[in-house]
């Protein structure tokens, strides 16, 4: 697959939507307004927000790497990594909720975005593993 055709890949578009949603949630819940520049972290929420941003960005990069790679082992490592990062983001939502976030509807929107991404990701992963056979 060529880099230009990534935008036609549904799972890649879903990863971008997930990244955008994660960025919005992180920006909303952080107390450090410089969090988007990934500078010094001051509080638990800031730490979670930073991790949320990093993992959502890594999901997009790993989907891109898996799509562009011709090596099955690189592809499988990226796919495995995406699974870990999606679980991490769900854990961050739980951490924010336990920290006393009152606006749970934002966390639920992010959880919904994760579910939508996972459905798309599983279909795409299955097509990749079938391609390797």
Determine the pLDDT at residue 1: 61
What is the model's pLDDT at position 10?
Answer: 92
- Of 54, 63, 58, the closest CA to residue 120 belongs to 63
pLDDT at 124 (0 to 100): 94
Q: What is the pLDDT of residues 39-81, one digit of tens each?
A: 555 688 888 988 999 999 999 999 999 999 989 999 999 999 9
Band (pLDDT 50/70/90 cuts) for residue 130 is confident
State how far Cα 5 lies from the chain centre: 20
pLDDT digits (tens, 9 = 90+) for 84-111: 999 999 999 999 999 888 889 999 999 9
CA torsion through residues 109, 14, 23, 76, sign? positive
DSSP-based three-state secondary structure for 41 = coil
């Amino acid at each position: 697959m060529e880099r230009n055709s990534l935008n036609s890949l549904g799972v890649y578009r879903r990863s971008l939507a997930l990244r955008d949603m994660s960025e919005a949630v992180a920006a909303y819940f952080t107390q450090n307004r410089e969090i988007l520049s990934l500078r010094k972290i001051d509080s638990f929420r800031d730490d979670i927000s930073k991790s949320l941003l990093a993992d959502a960005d890594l999901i997009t990069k790993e989907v891109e790497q898996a799509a562009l790679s011709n090596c099955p082992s690189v592809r499988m490592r990226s796919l495995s990594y995406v699974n870990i990062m999606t679980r991490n983001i769900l854990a961050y939502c739980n951490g924010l909720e336990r920290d006393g976030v009152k606006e749970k509807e934002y966390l639920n929107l992010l959880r919904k975005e994760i579910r939508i991404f996972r459905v798309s990701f599983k279909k795409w992963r299955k097509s990749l593993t079938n391609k390797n056979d």
